[in-house]
Amino acid sequence: MTTYPTHPDLDPARLRKAFGVFPTGVVVVAARVDGRLLGLTASSFTSVSLEPPLVSFSVANTSRTWPELRRAAQLGVTVLAEHHGAVARQLAGPAHLRFDNLLVASSEAGAVTLADGLARFDTTIYREVEAGDHTIVLLRLHAVEDADHTQPLVFHRSGFGRLQRGELTRLYLSD
């Protein structure tokens, strides 16, 4: 395998700024583990496969929540809506306060989702892939619910925002 040198200006702060120009949605990954409600937020959520049905998110290897959360039999994933900005900040805060005053639903296997999320998934860990200072977590879907039709919460340039309502303009490329 050929290796290429890394440019010295490629420091973490510069990378974070460059990566921040790409807007993403925000999810909560949560479960009950040993009777405790645990969860974390992620802005790296994406669909991966329809057969088998897989999604993924990335978690920092320094996370103190993930080693405990990954022990759950099932994980719930909730796609946050545009009105969840304060909820996302709360869920990224101190672990013991993350779910205070939030309405959640739990599956029999312990997957936890927010009752008012855009979409809710019951999942199990399919595979974990080491990727530098993060781990990519592949999740297999077992159930899905998508009752809410509001706009998603968007993470962009290190802050939360929303999509502008109005007509969607589609661009078509021609040969």
H-assigned helices in 21-141: 66-69, 85-91
Q: Does domain 25-153 have CATH number 2.30.110.10?
A: yes
The token pair at 128 is 């974990």
Domain-by-domain residue ranges, the chain?
A: 25-153
Higher pLDDT, 26 or 104: 104
Question: Do residues 122 and 142 touch, judged by C-beta distance below 8 A?
Answer: yes
7-41 pLDDT, tens digit per residue, is 666 766 766 665 555 556 789 999 999 999 999 98
Of 122-136, 142-156, 161-175, the least confident: 161-175
SS3 at position 49: strand
Reference 92, options 152, 165, 43, 32; nearest CA is 43
Instruction: Please state the rounded mean pLDDT for residues 77-94.
Output: 87
* Residues pairing with 139 in the sheet: 55, 125
Q: Which residues contact 45 (CB under 8 A, 6 or more apart)?
A: 24, 25, 26, 27, 55, 56, 57, 77, 79
Omega of the bond prior to 12 within 30 degrees of 0, cis?
no
